[in-house]
Amino acid sequence: MKKLVVTLSVLALSVVGLVGLSACGGQSSSSSSDKVINVYGCEPQNKLVPGNTSETCGGNILLQLFDGLVKYTNEGKAENDVAESITPEDGNKIFDIKIRQGLVFDNGEAITADSFIKSWNYTALAENAQAGQSFFEPIKGYKEVSEENAKTKTLSGLVKVTDLEFKIELEKPSITFPMRLGYSTFAPLPVSQFDDDGRLEDDFGDHPIGNGPYKFSEWNHDMDIKLVKSDTYKGNKVVKNSGLDFKIYTGGSEAAYADVQSGVLDVLDSVPATQSKTFQNDSQVQAVISKSTNFQGLEIPDNLPHFGWDEEGQLRRAAVSYSIDRQSIIDKVVDGLADHPVSYSPNSSEISGASSEVEGNEVLNFNADQAKELWSKADAISKFDNPKLDVYYNADGGGKSLLEAVANSIKTNLGIESSAKSVVDFKTLLNKEAEHNVDGAFRMGWQPDYPSIENFLAPLYTKEAIRTGSNYSGFSNEEFDNLLSDGGAASSIDEANKLFAKAQVLLFKYLPCFPLYDIKNKGVTALGVKGMTFDWHSVPVYTDISKD
C-alpha cells in the first residue's frame, strides 16, 4: 500500500512540475502590433459563407473576413465602405451603387458588380437554402426565386451597369435599405468561386476567400478558427494586431472566463452568470462594460384566453406590465448591468430613431396599485377564473433567474398565479412560439441587423412577420403596418422616424410585447490586453485590440 501512495505522489509531483515548466517557456517579447489575439469563439452553425450565416458564432468571424458596401461606425452610423457611392433614385425605390476601384479579394481577384450580383442571387435562390435568404426580400424578383422549383434563378431587381456599377430595384420604396447593406449576408464573393450555373463551390465555406481586413487561415472544428491580417487589404479598417485566433468554447463562456483569468484567452465578449456579480472587482481580468442595442422584452401571445387585442386584453396586458418591478430585477438579478427601458428599442444614440419619449411608455414603470386596478377593470368586462400567467424560457439560454423574478413580481404585485416554466431548448420553444402554441408569456431577445428603429418594429410586430418573420405574439394591426410602410417610403430619415415613433405609440396601447430592460454589453480581457470596445451591435472591435 505504501508503494501505491508513493507512486501516486510522484505522479502528482511530476504533473505539477510539467505545468510549471510549460508555464515558463515560450514567452518572447515583441512589439504589440505583431501579436495574434486569442479571442472567444463558438462553432459556427454552418460553413463560413456570408449568405448562409445569421447567427453570431459564424457572423462575428465573417464580419472580419468580409467588407460590405457599407460599414457601421462605432456610433452606429452607416458609411460607405466598398461602395464609392449609393444614390437613391425614383423615391428610394432604386439604388445606384458605384464600387470603389482597386479593391481585391484575398486571392487577388478584383471586386466588381458581379461579385455582389452573383453572391446575392445565390443566397436568394430557394434551392440553395441559405440562412440569409430573407434579407433579400425587399429586392424585386425575390418572390420568384424564393418559391418551390423556381423557374427564375436570378433577382430581377439586380442590374449590372458597368463592371463597377449596378442598380438595385426594390419591391417598394425603403429609405432605410442602404443601412441594411452592412450585414454580412450582403457581402461580395469572388466570381471565380461560382460555376456556370451560379452555384458556389461546395467547399468554399471550409476556406472562405474574403475582402476584409483579415484573411482566413485555418479551421479546426470545435477547436479554433485562425485568421491572419490580410496583406492585400486596401479598405478602410486599420488593424492593430497580426491576427485573430478564435478559440472555440463548446460549453459556453464559463470555461472561457477561467481562461481569461489564467491569461490563456485574451478577449471574452460576454460574462457568465457565475461571474456576473464579481467580474468588475476581479483583479485577474479587465472588465469592459458599455451600452448595447440588444432588446429584451416579454411577449404575451394572443392565443392565451383573456389576452386578446380587445379592451379586456389591453387592460390585462397593461396590468401585467405595471406589475413588473423592473428596477429591482435589474438591481438584483441582472446585477445592475442594465438600464430601465423606455421604448421598443434600447435607448441608444446608435439607433436611428430611438427615443426616450414615446407616448404611453409610463406603462413600463412599476405601479402595483395601477396594475391591480386595471386587472379588476378587465375582470369587470369578462371574469378571469383562476387567473394565471406563466412565463416560459428555454433552459439552454440562461433566462431562468430573470423569468423567475418576473413571475414572482407578477404573482406578488398582481395577486395571480405565475411561475417560470422551462422548455428544454431554444429549438423547442421557438417552434412553439412560431406555432402560437405557448401556454404563457415568453422572453423576446432581439439583436438588430441594422441600426434603425425600423428593425426593432417591422420584423417583430407586422402582420407579414407572423408568416415570414419573428412576430410570435400574433399582433396584427393595419394602422401599425401602414405606418411602417409609409415610414419606409418617406423622403427623409427624420420623417421616417416620426412615423416609426407613431407606430410605437400603438405598440404601447396594445402591448404585444413589453420591454424588460436595456441590457449592457459586458466582457473581459486578460491583463495586458488593450483597445477592447464593443461596436454598435455588441461585437468586439477586433481590429483595435492589441496586447503587450
**Residues 146-165 interacting with another protein (rule: CB under 8 A):** 146-150
- In the complex, minimum distance from the CB of residue 110 to another protein, in angstroms, rounded to a whole number: 29
β-strand 158-162 against 165-169: which pairing, if any? Answer: antiparallel
Q: Which of residues 255-314 bind another protein (CB under 8 A)?
A: 255-256, 258-259, 261-262, 264, 273-278, 284
Q: Is 224 in the site for another protein (CB under 8 A)?
A: yes
What would you measure as the largest C-alpha separation in the chain, in angstroms?
90
Closest Cα to residue 295, out of 27, 515, 123?
Answer: 515
Of 110 and 395, which has the nearer Cβ to another protein?
A: 395
Stretch that binds another protein, among 111-119, 162-170, 396-404, 527-535 (CB under 8 A): 396-404
Q: Is residue 456 a contact point for another protein (CB under 8 A)?
A: no
Quick one: angle between helices 400-414 and 368-381, nearest 10? Answer: 70
String of contacts with another protein for each residue 328-347, x by CB under 8 A: xx--xx--------------
CB of 83 to another protein, least distance (A): 23
Give the single-character DSSP code of 59. H
Sequence-separated (6 or more) residues with CB below 8 Å from residue 125: 145, 146, 150, 153, 154, 198
* Choice from 396, 464, 486, 544 touching another protein (CB under 8 A): 396
Smallest Cα–Cα separation from 168: which of 87, 58, 234? 87
CB of 251 to another protein, least distance (A): 3
Long-range Cβ pairs for the range 459-465 (8 Å, 24+): 460/513, 461/507, 461/512, 461/513
Distance CA 261, CA 433 (A): 39
Q: How many residues bind another protein (CB under 8 A)?
A: 94
Strands 267-268 and 158-162, how do they pair?
unpaired
**Minimal distance in Å, beta carbon 143 to another protein?**
9
84, 70 contact by CB (below 8 A): no
Name residue 89's amino acid: E
Find the binding residues for another protein in span 2-41 (CB under 8 A): 4, 8, 15-16, 18-19, 22-23
Site string for another protein, 120-149 (x = CB under 8 A): ------xxxxxxxxxx----------xxxx
Nearer to another protein, 23 or 161 (CB): 23
Site string for another protein, 485-524 (x = CB under 8 A): ----------------------------------------
407-426: contacts with another protein (CB under 8 A): 407-409, 412, 419-426
Let me know how long the chain is.
548
3-state secondary structure 194-263: ECCCCCECCCHHHCCCCCCCEEEEEEECCCEEEEEECCCCCCCCCCCCCEEEEEECCCCHHHHHHHHHCC
Least distance to another protein from the beta carbon of 344, Å? 16
For another protein, the binding residues in 83-112 under the rule CB under 8 A are none
CB of 323 to another protein, least distance (A): 12
